[in-house]
Chain A
């Protein structure tokens, strides 16, 4: 019994932390820039596929993380250029990137099997496993701490990421980026080049999504081009649940970033518990849908209950109405 609670806790922490990185990426596009970027579902498996390829080629794991983040940023560049320069609606621009990313991920998988001597170059491969002796980003701490090594490694990574994001969004360019998302016309009136901010923001966002895909693939030692399915739901649920948990004082930007992490953990916790109660994962999808509606309703309920106290918070939620 204690074992079960312990397992629920560690499983949720492991996945919650990895999906918190994803949540932070989507937070930038969805909350700060006010753009729904569906490219996430493609960039996530792309990051994973590139990771397994680079690890198979014996690139040191820390460099792998950098390279994958840059690759994700490039995908964000594509989405943002389609959106800003070609005036394609952001939703469609994201879908185009997603469609592009999945065969790219399969090509990377194909290169991995080629480098292992199984296949000819240029093949599209759906799923691959990282061969046993290759070390991942997690190897160092896992050597000392076992399962908690995974948790601690991702946790340290998240602290660094939140720190960097907090610093970045405090700089002049970061603040102008937030202003662009908040009120584009006002930002343009202040003679800001909003297109450039959107490009930068989406690059940052997709970089983090790819990084999350990379961590997930290293954690699971697999790359699969279908693994992006459902990531946007997980990310949005994490963001919204986080906002619901920290609703009473979410003015501070650092707390907003932390709330994504808390939300990601809470969401995994609920999913993990639901998975145990419902033996069939088919029902889980129904629970997920209901849960999603509930999470989306929370801001409304909170507003009704604490109307006065919340007058100036949850601005983001209002601006989406």
Chain B
């Protein structure tokens, strides 16, 4: 039958394709990226940049799961089957790899990055003592310090709001932290969720009607993909946004304590090199970014009539959107 012939020729193709890559000294690294968004791409690029600088012989196989269950599982099974080390970028990718490793009954190390809370997500039992050949880096942003920024803007903000996607486990963790921080700094806190990006405008209207004076946006890849819908509303209502990560400043946020995903990827790459060089994973606790520099955006602040206090400007490591 024709179909059979097609399958045969495709198999042959695959075989020819893979013969060239068989080499025993090379470490085969499989990378599963959950979805194609800038933060995750940055993390991947950071990871690769560290490996490129090292003198290791390696070969990377990158698979993008397009946020689909079927692709997460078939990509994870493929990668685990033929790699010596695997990296999962974002939580669903990491848990897919974990399941695939169990299915294939292989003892290969798993690294993860861009996972907010690996214990909450069920990837491991103890962040400080990985006992299951899985460890990595967390993109937990300094939520408390970011909320504190509202009090430093010089606007006498009393009530803040937060918007996030109900699909993202990471955002829920950040919401709880933000709520605790808001209580600490005597701010009224209100939050609204959306399940589809088309709802963002309506949800933003509700938040603004509630009388929020500042908006906090967590590291939420669904939200990031439709950030302009948030910005349109806050610009009209003249409300400042504090972003969870650096990328949001280009899209309308006025300030953040930055999580640099490229740097996070580099951190993960360093861990990968340690593992390849034979370091024991149980001695490699989950790592966090140690520096979170303050970044401000002058143009976006100007648009809503915000003038940053001098001490904040002095504290800032980077100031974006200044007049040329």
A residues neighboring B (CB under 8 Å): 1, 3-5, 7-8, 11, 14-15, 19, 45, 102-103, 106, 113, 118-119, 123-132, 146-147, 150, 216, 219-222, 224-231, 234, 244-245, 266, 268-277, 279-282, 284-285
Assuming A14-B103, A127-B169, A216-B69, what are 12 further A-B pairs, CB within 8 angstroms?
Answer: A4-B82, A7-B77, A11-B77, A113-B120, A216-B73, A220-B99, A221-B99, A226-B69, A229-B69, A273-B11, A275-B75, A276-B18
Please determine whether B98 and A221 come into contact, CB atoms closer than 8 angstroms.
yes
Choice from A124, A146, A279 contacting B61 with Cβ under 8 Å: A279
- Considering the chains assembled together, what is the distance between the CA atoms of A230 and B36 in angstroms? 17
Please determine whether A4 and B169 come into contact, CB atoms closer than 8 angstroms.
no
Given the known A-B contacts A4-B82, A226-B167, are A15 and B73 also in contact in the complex, defined by CB atoms under 8 Å? yes
Given the known A-B contacts A4-B82, A124-B166, A281-B75, are A269 and B18 also in contact in the complex, defined by CB atoms under 8 Å? no
Please determine whether B17 and A276 come into contact, CB atoms closer than 8 angstroms.
yes
- Tell me, yes or no, whether B15 is within 8 Å of chain A by CB: yes
Q: List 25 A-B contacts (CB under 8 A).
A: A3-B82, A5-B15, A7-B82, A8-B11, A8-B14, A15-B70, A106-B195, A118-B120, A125-B169, A127-B92, A128-B169, A129-B95, A147-B103, A216-B73, A221-B95, A229-B67, A230-B68, A230-B69, A230-B70, A230-B71, A268-B74, A276-B14, A281-B64, A282-B36, A284-B71
Closest to A131 in B: B122
Please determine whether A7 and B169 come into contact, CB atoms closer than 8 angstroms.
no
The interface residues of chain A lying within 8 Å CB-to-CB of B133 are none
Please determine whether B166 and A103 come into contact, CB atoms closer than 8 angstroms.
yes
- Considering the chains assembled together, what is the distance between the CA atoms of A221 and B97 in angstroms? 10
The interface residues of chain A lying within 8 Å CB-to-CB of B100 are 220
Please determine whether B72 and A271 come into contact, CB atoms closer than 8 angstroms.
no
- Tell me, yes or no, whether B121 is within 8 Å of chain A by CB: yes
The interface residues of chain B lying within 8 Å CB-to-CB of A228 are 69
The interface residues of chain B lying within 8 Å CB-to-CB of A147 are 103-105
Given the known A-B contacts A124-B193, A128-B121, A273-B14, are A234 and B70 also in contact in the complex, defined by CB atoms under 8 Å? yes
Given the known A-B contacts A220-B72, A268-B74, are A281 and B66 also in contact in the complex, defined by CB atoms under 8 Å? yes
The interface residues of chain B lying within 8 Å CB-to-CB of A276 are 14, 17-18, 78
The interface residues of chain A lying within 8 Å CB-to-CB of B120 are 113, 118
The interface residues of chain A lying within 8 Å CB-to-CB of B91 are 127
- Tell me, yes or no, whether B125 is within 8 Å of chain A by CB: yes
Closest to A213 in B: B69
Interface of chain B residues 55 through 71 with chain A (CB within 8 A): 61-71
Most buried by B among A5, A129, A271, A275: A129
Please determine whether A219 and B74 come into contact, CB atoms closer than 8 angstroms.
no
Choice from A4, A11, A231 contacting B14 with Cβ under 8 Å: A4
- Considering the chains assembled together, what is the distance between the CA atoms of A231 and B120 in angstroms? 28
Please determine whether B22 and A231 come into contact, CB atoms closer than 8 angstroms.
no
- Tell me, yes or no, whether B168 is within 8 Å of chain A by CB: yes
Give min CB distance, A316 to chain B, whole Å. 20
- Tell me, yes or no, whether B19 is within 8 Å of chain A by CB: yes
Instruction: Give the interface size class of chain B.
Output: 35 or more
The interface residues of chain A lying within 8 Å CB-to-CB of B71 are 230, 281, 284
Given the known A-B contacts A128-B121, A147-B104, are A270 and B193 also in contact in the complex, defined by CB atoms under 8 Å? no
Give min CB distance, A313 to chain B, whole Å. 16
Interface of chain B residues 150 through 195 with chain A (CB within 8 A): 165-169, 172, 193, 195
Interface of chain B residues 30 through 76 with chain A (CB within 8 A): 36, 61-76
The interface residues of chain A lying within 8 Å CB-to-CB of B17 are 276-277
Given the known A-B contacts A7-B77, A285-B66, are A126 and B36 also in contact in the complex, defined by CB atoms under 8 Å? no
Closest to B63 in A: A281
- Tell me, yes or no, whether B252 is within 8 Å of chain A by CB: no
Please determine whether A244 and B3 come into contact, CB atoms closer than 8 angstroms.
yes
Please determine whether A14 and B77 come into contact, CB atoms closer than 8 angstroms.
yes
Please determine whether A11 and B78 come into contact, CB atoms closer than 8 angstroms.
yes
The interface residues of chain A lying within 8 Å CB-to-CB of B167 are 106, 126-127, 225-226
- Tell me, yes or no, whether B274 is within 8 Å of chain A by CB: no
Choice from B7, B123, B166 contacting A269 with Cβ under 8 Å: B7
Choice from B63, B99, B103, B166 contacting A106 with Cβ under 8 Å: B166
Closest to A282 in B: B64
Please determine whether A126 and B168 come into contact, CB atoms closer than 8 angstroms.
yes
The interface residues of chain A lying within 8 Å CB-to-CB of B61 are 279
Give min CB distance, B195 to chain A, whole Å. 6
Given the known A-B contacts A103-B166, A228-B69, are A123 and B77 also in contact in the complex, defined by CB atoms under 8 Å? no
Choice from B62, B67, B99, B103 contacting A222 with Cβ under 8 Å: B99
Please determine whether A129 and B122 come into contact, CB atoms closer than 8 angstroms.
yes
Task: Identify the 9 closest CB pairs spanning chains A and B, nearest first.
Answer: A227-B69, A129-B122, A126-B167, A7-B81, A124-B166, A129-B95, A281-B64, A221-B99, A11-B77
Please determine whether B18 and A4 come into contact, CB atoms closer than 8 angstroms.
yes
- Tell me, yes or no, whether B317 is within 8 Å of chain A by CB: no
Given the known A-B contacts A3-B82, A268-B74, are A146 and B105 also in contact in the complex, defined by CB atoms under 8 Å? yes
- Considering the chains assembled together, what is the distance between the CA atoms of A273 and B153 in angstroms? 55
The interface residues of chain A lying within 8 Å CB-to-CB of B65 are 281
- Considering the chains assembled together, what is the distance between the CA atoms of A90 and B69 in angstroms? 26
Give min CB distance, A81 to chain B, whole Å. 24
Most buried by A among B72, B75, B95: B95
What per-residue 1/0 map shows which CB atoms of B194-217 lie under 8 Å from chain A? Answer: 010000000000000000000000
- Considering the chains assembled together, what is the distance between the CA atoms of A7 and B83 in angstroms? 12
- Tell me, yes or no, whether B292 is within 8 Å of chain A by CB: no
Give min CB distance, B276 to chain A, whole Å. 21
The interface residues of chain B lying within 8 Å CB-to-CB of A234 are 70
The interface residues of chain B lying within 8 Å CB-to-CB of A245 are 1, 3
- Tell me, yes or no, whether B132 is within 8 Å of chain A by CB: yes
What per-residue 1/0 map shows which CB atoms of B1-34 lie under 8 Å from chain A? Answer: 1010001001101110111001000000000000
- Tell me, yes or no, whether B96 is within 8 Å of chain A by CB: yes
Closest to A12 in B: B74
Please determine whether A220 and B96 come into contact, CB atoms closer than 8 angstroms.
yes
